[in-house]
C-alpha cells in the first residue's frame, strides 16, 4: 500500500527512518527529473506493486488493471517535473491513482459493466486458508461491498472508499480529491448514508 | 412498528464503531434488542464491515510488470520527444528572435543573389563531394553495439564484401545465417536479396545488384551507406537519443520510425516513403517526405529544387508488399536467437509466391530464418493459388529443406518432415485421421478449450479492437493463430496464420494470446481463431 493515511499520515512526526525515506524519495525524484533512465526504472520498480494494489482495491477487479497502472506511471513521469515535494511522493502517487480510478469509474458508467469480476479469494494472500464455505461467504460479502460501491455516483464512491475502507481522515481525503474539507465532509455524510442503505437493502433483496 | 422509527443503517454503523454518543448508542441498542429487522440489518453490516477490512488489507495481483514497464517507457519517451519538438517549433514565435532571423535571412538572400549573378559561381549541381558520414555522437557511456541477423537470403549475396555468389550447400547457408551482422560489415547482392533484422520490427532488405556498408551500427546510431542499388528499410520508432539514417552519395535520409526505400543508382536518388516520415538532406537543404510521397533527385540537380510527388496507389501497394519482410518476433540478444531459431531452405519454381504460416515471405528459391517450432509452408501453383502445403518441424539451430513441384505441392526433406501432419482435419495437406492420432486430437481439443475459456470475452482482446471499433469494423474481424503448447502449459510457438485486421491490431491480439498461461497437461499444437 502506498504509505498514506493510517500508516504514515501526512500530519505525523517523521522519525529517523522516515527522514531517511524522505531523503531517498527526494533524491529519486531529482534523478528522475534529470531524465536518468536508471532512476526511472527504480521509481517504476519501487511503486508498481503498491499502485496496482491501490487500483485493485478501489475498483475491485483486475480487468484492464495493467492499462491503469500504465496510465498512473505515464501521468506520474510527465508530472514529475512539476513535483515540488509539498506532499510525500507516495501521497502524490496515491492521488494520481485515485484520479485514474475515478476516470475509469466514470467511463464504466458509459459502457456495459465488466464481464469479469475479480475473485479476491484467489488473489488475496491468506495467512490461514479458510474453509470453502467461509471463503465463499467472504467472497460474497466483498462482492456485495463492491456492488454497493458501484451503485454510487463516482465522487461519493471515492470519498466513501477513502474514509470507510482506507481509513483516511477528511484532510487527507481533501488533498487527494482536491476539494475543500467541508465539501468532503458533506459528501461523505451523504455517501455513508447511501452506501450502508444500499448494503442492507441489497441483502434484504437477496435474502 | 413503522419504518420511520427503524434505525438508519449508517447510524447502526456509527454505534458499532463508537462514533455515536453513549446516549445514542444505548438508544440504538434498546431498539435493536426489540426489532428483528434492525437486528438483521446490524448483523449484515457487521459482515460487510469485516469484508471492508479484508478489502483494505488486500495486496494487488501480479501483473506483466515488464510489459507494462516497456509501455510506460514508450509512452513517456514519445511524450518527451513531442515536447522537445514543440519547443523546437516555438523558438521563432518569440519576437526578438523573429527580428534577428529576418535580418539574417535578408543578409543571406543578398549574398546568394550576388553569388548567383557571379560568372565564377559554382555550376548548379556541380561536382560535390559525397556527404561525409557523420561520426557518432561522443558517448558519455559505452554504447552497446547492435547485432543484426540474416533472416532471408535468395540468389547471389555476400556479407563480407566479396563477390556475390549463390549459397547452396549447408555450410554456406550456416555461415550466412550463423553470424551476427555488426558495424563495418559490407553487404552485396548480385541477382538476389538479403534481409537483415536488427531489433523488434526493425530491418532492411537489400535489393538485387546493390551494395551497402553498416557505417555505424550501435544502440544510438545506425547509419547505412548505400554505395549502389536500393535498400528497403523498416524501422521501429527511435528513442530521442537514437539516430537512424541511410546515406546515399551526397544525400542523407533520416528517419524516426518508418518504412521507406532508398534507391541510389548511377548517382541518382529515389526515396519513397511508405509509412511515417523521413527527411532527406544534402548538408545545405532538407526536404521532408510524408507517407505516400516520393522524391527523385538526379545527380546533376539540387535537392532544394527536387519536387516531391505522391506515389501512385499501385506503386505504393507494391512498395508495401515489398516492405513486408519476414521479421522475427521480439528478441533482445542475437546469440539467444541463434540458439532458438533455425533455417528453412525452399526450392520452388522461379517466381512462385511462397507463404510460411500464412504470411507471404518471398518467391522462388530462398533460405529463411524461422523460430523453432512447427511451420506451414505453401507454394503457389500455376494459377497463383495456394492449394497445397506441408508442415516443417523446425528444431533449434537446424537446417530444414523443402522442395516444391510445378503444381505447388511441397515435400519436406530430412528431419524436419512431419509425419503424420499435425494439421486439423480439413486443412489442405492433412492426412486422413488414424487411431494413432486420436490422443493428439484429444490433446488439441483440450488445449483449444482452455484457450477459448482463457480468451473468451477477454477485455484485453476487446481493447485491441479499439481502432476498428471507432470505424465500426469489429464485426467479422478475426485472427487465426497457430499455438504450440508445451506439457508445462507454456507456449512453444505462436504464429499468426491469417487474419483480416491491421498489423497493429494483429500484434496486439498476438500479445494478448502470448500472455495466456495454461495449466500443465498434454502438449499440443492448436489452431485458435480469435473472432469478433
pLDDT level of residue A115 (50, 70, 90 thresholds): very low
Residue A67 in this model has a pLDDT that exceeds 60 = yes
CA angle B396, B483, B502 (to 5 degrees): 110
pLDDT, residue B1, reads 42
pLDDT level of residue A191 (50, 70, 90 thresholds): very high
- When scoring B72, B79, B508 by the number of chain A Cβ atoms within 10 A, the one with the most, hence best to mutate, is B72
The fraction of chain B above a pLDDT of 90, given in percent, is 5
| Contact predicate B157/B194, CB 8 Å | yes
A163 or B282: which carries more pLDDT confidence? A163
Residue B105 in this model has a pLDDT that exceeds 80 = no
| Contact predicate B149/B336, CB 8 Å | no
pLDDT level of residue B345 (50, 70, 90 thresholds): confident
Q: Is the peptide bond preceding residue B119 cis, with omega within 30 degrees of 0?
A: no
pLDDT level of residue B240 (50, 70, 90 thresholds): low
pLDDT, residue A1, reads 42
| Contact predicate B330/B170, CB 8 Å | no
Query: Judging by DSSP bridges, how do beta strands B221-235 and B243-248 pair with one another?
Result: parallel
B134 or A78: which carries more pLDDT confidence? A78
pLDDT, residue A197, reads 92
- Cell numbers linked to B66: 515488464
Distances (CA, A) of B25 to A192, B10, B47, B491: 18, 13, 19, 61
How confident is the model over A19-63, as pLDDT tens digits? Answer: 777 778 888 888 888 878 888 888 999 999 999 999 999 998 877
Angle between helical axes of B36-56 and A132-150 (0-180°, round to 10): 90
The distance of A17 to chain B (nearest Cα, Å) reads 23
pLDDT level of residue A128 (50, 70, 90 thresholds): low
Residue B428 in this model has a pLDDT that exceeds 60 = no
| Contact predicate B482/B376, CB 8 Å | yes
Buried b / exposed e along B86-112 (16+ C-beta atoms within 10 A): eeeeeeeeeeeeeeeeeeeeeeeeeee
pLDDT, residue B2, reads 42
Query: Judging by DSSP bridges, how do beta strands B366-371 and B410-413 pair with one another?
Result: unpaired
Distances (CA, A) of B344 to A71, A186, B337, B417: 42, 71, 15, 12
Phi, psi of B192, rounded to the nearest 5 degrees = -160, 180
Residue B241 in this model has a pLDDT that exceeds 80 = no
The distance of A13 to chain B (nearest Cα, Å) reads 24
A1-118: CATH topology is Rna Polymerase Sigma Factor; Chain: A (1.10.1740)
pLDDT, residue A108, reads 64
Residue B82 in this model has a pLDDT that exceeds 70 = no
Residues of A in contact with B63 (CB under 8 A): 48, 52, 65-66, 69
Phi, psi of B151, rounded to the nearest 5 degrees = -115, -15
Collect all residues with Cβ–Cβ distance below 8 Å to B176 and sequence separation of at least 6. Answer: B150, B153, B157, B159, B167, B367
B492 or B89: which carries more pLDDT confidence? B492
Residue A95 in this model has a pLDDT that exceeds 60 = yes
pLDDT, residue B489, reads 80
Every domain range in chain A assigned CATH 1.10.1740.10:
1-118
pLDDT level of residue B114 (50, 70, 90 thresholds): very low
Buried b / exposed e along B487-513 (16+ C-beta atoms within 10 A): eeeebbbbbbbebebeeebbbbbbbbb
| Contact predicate B421/B430, CB 8 Å | yes
pLDDT, residue B419, reads 55
Helix (H) or strand (E) holding A73: helix A65-79
B240 or A178: which carries more pLDDT confidence? A178
Residues of A in contact with B55 (CB under 8 A): 57, 60, 120, 142, 145, 165
pLDDT, residue B180, reads 84
Residue B64 in this model has a pLDDT that exceeds 90 = no
Helix (H, G, I), strand (E, B) or coil at B303: helix
Residue B525 in this model has a pLDDT that exceeds 50 = yes
pLDDT level of residue B158 (50, 70, 90 thresholds): confident
Helix (H) or strand (E) holding B95: helix B95-117
Contact B459 A138 (CB under 8 A): no
pLDDT, residue B116, reads 42
Helix (H, G, I), strand (E, B) or coil at B487: coil
pLDDT level of residue A7 (50, 70, 90 thresholds): very low
> Which of B64-73, B260-269, B413-422 bottoms out in mean pLDDT, i.e. has the lowest?
B413-422
- When scoring A68, A81, A199 by the number of chain B Cβ atoms within 10 A, the one with the most, hence best to mutate, is A199
User: Chain A within 8 Å of B460 (Cβ-Cβ)?
Assistant: yes
pLDDT, residue A131, reads 64
The CA distance from B426 to B407, in Å, is: 20
Option in A57, A114, A192 nearest B58 (CB): A57
pLDDT level of residue B318 (50, 70, 90 thresholds): confident
pLDDT, residue A113, reads 42
pLDDT level of residue B141 (50, 70, 90 thresholds): low
Residues of A in contact with B65 (CB under 8 A): 48
The CA distance from A76 to A92, in Å, is: 9
How confident is the model over B195-232, as pLDDT tens digits? Answer: 888 876 788 889 889 999 999 888 888 899 999 999 98
pLDDT, residue A196, reads 92
| Contact predicate A101/A59, CB 8 Å | yes
Every domain range in chain A assigned CATH 1.10.10.10:
124-207
Residue B63 in this model has a pLDDT that exceeds 80 = yes
> Which of A156-170, B43-57, B178-192, B482-496 bottoms out in mean pLDDT, i.e. has the lowest?
B482-496
Give the predicted TM-score (pTM) of the model.
0.43
- Cell numbers linked to A37: 533512465
Beta strands in chain A (DSSP E): none
Place of cell 504464429: B495
Identify which of A156, A33, A151, A173 has the alpha carbon closest to the alpha carbon of residue B76: A33
pLDDT level of residue A81 (50, 70, 90 thresholds): confident
ipTM: 0.80
How confident is the model over B166-204, as pLDDT tens digits? Answer: 766 667 777 778 888 888 899 999 888 888 888 767 888
pLDDT level of residue A164 (50, 70, 90 thresholds): very high
Identify which of B393, B388, B376 has the alpha carbon closest to the alpha carbon of residue B429: B388
Residues of B in contact with A41 (CB under 8 A): 69
Task: Please give the residue of chain B at the shortest CA–CA distance from A56.
Answer: B60
Option in A64, A114, A199 nearest B44 (CB): A199
pLDDT, residue B424, reads 44
> Taking chain B, what is the end-to-end CA distance rounded to the nearest angstrom?
56
Residues B456-474, mean pLDDT to the nearest whole number? 76
Considering chain B, what is the average pLDDT of its residues? Answer: 75
Class of domain A124-207: mainly alpha
Identify which of B270, B336, B257, B254 has the alpha carbon closest to the alpha carbon of residue B308: B270
Residues of B in contact with A142 (CB under 8 A): 51, 54-55
Residue A188 in this model has a pLDDT that exceeds 90 = yes
pLDDT, residue A118, reads 37
Contact A48 B10 (CB under 8 A): no
| Contact predicate B292/B199, CB 8 Å | no
Amino acid at each position: 500500500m502506498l504509505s498514506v493515511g493510517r500508516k504514515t499520515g501526512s500530519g505525523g512526526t517523521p522519525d529517523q527512518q522516515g527522514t531517511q525515506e524522505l531523503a531517498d524519495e527526494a533524491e529519486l525524484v531529482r534523478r528522475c527529473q534529470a531524465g536518468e533512465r536508471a532512476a526511472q526504472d527504480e521509481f517504476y520498480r519501487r511503486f508498481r506493486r503498491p499502485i496496482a494494489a491501490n487500483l485493485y482495491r478501489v475498483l475491485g477487479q483486475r480487468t484492464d488493471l495493467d492499462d491503469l497502472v500504465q496510465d498512473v506511471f505515464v501521468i506520474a513521469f510527465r508530472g514529475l517535473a512539476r513535483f515540488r515535494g509539498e506532499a510525500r511522493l507516495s501521497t502524490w502517487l496515491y492521488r494520481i491513482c485515485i484520479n485514474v480510478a475515478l476516470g475509469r469509474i466514470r467511463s464504466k458508467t458509459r459502457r456495459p459493466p465488466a464481464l469479469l469480476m475479480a475473485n479476491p479469494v484467489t488473489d488475496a494472500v491468506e495467512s490461514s486458508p479458510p474453509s470453502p464455505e467461509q471463503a465463499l461467504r467472504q467472497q460474497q460479502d466483498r462482492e456485495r461491498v463492491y456492488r454497493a460501491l458501484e451503485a454510487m455516483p463516482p465522487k461519493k464512491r471515492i470519498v466513501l472508499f477513502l474514509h470507510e475502507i482506507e481509513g483516511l481522515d477528511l484532510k487527507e481525503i481533501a488533498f487527494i480529491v482536491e476539494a475543500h474539507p467541508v465539501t468532503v465532509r458533506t459528501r461523505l455524510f451523504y455517501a455513508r448514508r447511501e452506501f450502508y442503505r444500499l448494503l442492507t437493502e441489497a441483502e434484504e433483496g437477496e435474502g | 412498528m413503522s419504518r420511520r422509527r427503524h434505525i438508519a443503517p449508517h447510524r447502526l454503523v456509527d454505534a458499532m464503531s463508537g462514533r455515536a454518543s453513549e446516549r445514542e448508542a444505548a438508544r440504538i441498542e434498546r431498539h435493536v434488542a426489540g426489532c428483528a429487522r434492525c437486528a438483521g440489518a446490524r448483523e449484515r453490516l457487521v459482515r460487510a464491515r469485516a469484508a471492508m477490512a479484508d478489502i483494505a488489507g488486500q495486496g494487488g495481483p501480479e501483473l506483466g510488470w515488464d510489459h507494462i514497464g516497456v509501455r510506460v517507457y514508450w509512452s513517456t519517451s514519445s511524450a518527451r520527444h513531442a515536447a522537445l519538438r514543440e519547443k523546437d517549433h516555438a523558438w521563432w514565435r518569440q519576437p526578438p528572435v523573429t527580428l534577428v532571423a529576418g535580418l539574417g535571412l535578408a543578409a543571406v538572400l543578398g549574398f546568394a543573389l550576388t553569388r548567383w549573378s557571379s560568372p565564377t559561381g559554382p555550376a548548379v549541381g556541380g561536382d560535390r563531394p559525397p556527404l561525409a558520414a557523420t561520426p557518432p555522437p561522443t558517448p558519455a557511456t559505452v554504447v552497446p553495439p547492435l547485432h543484426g541477423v540474416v533472416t532471408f537470403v535468395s540468389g547471389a549475396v555476400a556479407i563480407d564484401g566479396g563477390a556475390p555468389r549463390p549459397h547452396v550447400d549447408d555450410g554456406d547457408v550456416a555461415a550466412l545465417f550463423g553470424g551476427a551482422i555488426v558495424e563495418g560489415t559490407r553487404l552485396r547482392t548480385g541477382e538476389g536479396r538479403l534481409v537483415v533484422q536488427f531489433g523488434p520490427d526493425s530491418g532492411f532488405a537489400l535489393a538485387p545488384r546493390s551494395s551497402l556498408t553498416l557505417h555505424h551500427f550501435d544502440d544510438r546510431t545506425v547509419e547505412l551507406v548505400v554505395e549502389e542499388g536500393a535498400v528497403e528499410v523498416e524501422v521501429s520508432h527511435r528513442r530521442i537519443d537514437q539516430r537512424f539514417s541511410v546515406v546515399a552519395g551526397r544525400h542523407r535520409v533520416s528517419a524516426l520510425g518508418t518504412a521507406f526505400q532508398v534507391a541510389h543508382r548511377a548517382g541518382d536518388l529515389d526515396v519513397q516513403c511508405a509509412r511515417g516520415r523521413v527527411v532527406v538532406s544534402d548538408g545545405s537543404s532538407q526536404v521532408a517526405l510524408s507517407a505516400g510521397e516520393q522524391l527523385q533527385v538526379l545527380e546533376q540537380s539540387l535537392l532544394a529544387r527536387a519536387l516531391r510527388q505522391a506515389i501512385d496507389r499501385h506503386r505504393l501497394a507494391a512498395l508495401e508488399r515489398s516492405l513486408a519482410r519476414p521479421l522475427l518476433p521480439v528478441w533482445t540478444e542475437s546469440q539467444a536467437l541463434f540458439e532458438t531459431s533455425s533455417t528453412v531452405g525452399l526450392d520452388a519454381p522461379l517466381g512462385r509466391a511462397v507463404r510460411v504460416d500464412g504470411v507471404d515471405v518471398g518467391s522462388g528459391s530462398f533460405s529463411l530464418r524461422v523460430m523453432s517450432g512447427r511451420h506451414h509452408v505453401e507454394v503457389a501453383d500455376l494459377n497463383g493459388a495456394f492449394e497445397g502445403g506441408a508442415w516443417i518441424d523446425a528444431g533449434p539451430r537446424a537446417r530444414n529443406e523443402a522442395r516444391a513441384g510445378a503444381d505447388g505441392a511441397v515435400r519436406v526433406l530430412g528431419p524436419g518432415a512431419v509425419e503424420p501432419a499435425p494439421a486439423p482435419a480439413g486443412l489442405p495437406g492433412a492426412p486422413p485421421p488414424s487411431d494413432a492420432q486420436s490422443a493428439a486430437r484429444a490433446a488439441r481439443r483440450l488445449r483449444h478449450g482452455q484457450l477459448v475459456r482463457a480468451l473468451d470475452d477477454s477485455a484485453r482482446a476487446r481493447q485491441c479492437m479499439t481502432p476498428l471499433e471507432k470505424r465500426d469494423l469489429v464485426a467479422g474481424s478475426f485472427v487465426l493463430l497457430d499455438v504450440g503448447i508445451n506439457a508445462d502449459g507454456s507456449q512453444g510457438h505462436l504464429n499468426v496464420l491469417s487474419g483480416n485486421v491491421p498489423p497493429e491490431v494483429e500484434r496486439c491480439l498476438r500479445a494478448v494470446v502470448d500472455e495466456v498461461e495454461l495449466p500443465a497437461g498434454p502438449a499440443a499444437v492448436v489452431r485458435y481463431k480469435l473472432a469478433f
